[in-house]
Structure formats: C-alpha cells, structure tokens
Amino acid sequence: MSGLLELSLVDAKGLESTDIFGKMDPYVLIEYKDQKLKSKVAKGQGNNPVWNEKFTLWAQYPEEDDQYNLILRIMDKDKFCKDDFVGEVRIAMKEMVRIGINEGTVDTQPRTYNVVNSKGASSGELQVRLALTRKSLQGRE
C-alpha cells in the first residue's frame, strides 16, 4: 500500500549564520528514502527565511527494517565557494505513514522542529506541515 506525502516548508527562525559577509541565502534539501528535492533559495533572507513551498513525495507502507526518516538539510547558497551546511531536521515518519495509509489520511498543523548543526547543537527552528493520503498509482505499489 502506498500514499502521497505532502510537505509544506513554511519558514525558519534563528538559524545560525554561516555567512561572514552579508546575509545568508538559505535553501532546503529534502530527502525521503530514494527521493530528493530542493526548495527555492530564500535569497538575502538571512537567519529567518520564509519559503511557503509545497512538495509531494511517494510513501510506501512501513516494513520492519525500513528507515523512515524525512531529512531536511538547510544549506546556505554561496556564489564563490561550496554551499555551507547550516543544520538539519530528521523527522521519524514510520508511524505517520502507517496511520495515513491505514486510515486514508493524516494531516498535521504546522510544527516547529529544532535544527541541529554539524556539532549536534541547536541551530534554530524549522516550521513544516505534513500530510499523507493513501493513493494507489500504477507501477508504484
């Protein structure tokens, strides 16, 4: 059984700055199982970016050994060097996928998650909304 996972990337607050000059240009790399997406760059929005962007991912019924983490990596877009890692949020999705597929739908209000930097310290907050609806698409089950 399968479903469509809708992720609404709302905003972030208090992100740890990685820019020495000017404001950060943050964006989010979204990873769920073998699916990878990228948000728009919040150009010049610094530590408190707003995206208000929606993404759709495919979710399958959880199996015992599956890793069901939605990973949201916040990056700072740089022109002249490699983009900087700001921090990430890992959301355990197994229970949400199970409920959404069994009951037909599950929807959360926007929730705030702590962003964790490469040293394991808090690096701000990320607000997202998640919804999952049971769907059957040819070739995906």
Rounded-to-integer distance, Cα 38 and Cα 80, Å: 20
Q: Are 44 and 21 in contact (CB under 8 A)?
A: no
Rounded-to-integer distance, Cα 88 and Cα 30, Å: 10
- Specify if 141 maps to a domain: no
Would you place residue 64 in the very low, low, confident or very high pLDDT band (cuts 50, 70, 90)? low
Prediction pTM value: 0.90
Mean pLDDT score, 49-74: 87
Distances (CA, A) of 133 to 42, 99, 120: 29, 10, 33
Specify the number of domains making up the chain: 1
- Specify if 112 maps to a domain: yes
- Specify if 139 maps to a domain: no
Mean pLDDT score, 55-76: 85
pLDDT in tens, 85-135: 999 999 999 888 888 888 989 999 999 999 999 999 999 999 999 999 988
pLDDT in tens, 3-61: 899 999 999 999 998 877 668 999 999 999 889 999 999 999 999 999 999 999 998 87
Task: Tell me what pLDDT residue 139 has.
Answer: 45
Q: Are 37 and 27 in contact (CB under 8 A)?
A: no
Q: Are 129 and 10 in contact (CB under 8 A)?
A: yes
Domain encompassing residue 81:
2-134
Task: Tell me what pLDDT residue 80 has.
Answer: 81
* CATH code of the domain covering residue 124: 2.60.40.150
- Specify if 40 maps to a domain: yes
pLDDT surpassing 80 at residue 65: no
- Specify if 36 maps to a domain: yes
pLDDT surpassing 50 at residue 140: no
- Specify if 140 maps to a domain: no
pLDDT surpassing 80 at residue 138: no
- Specify if 122 maps to a domain: yes
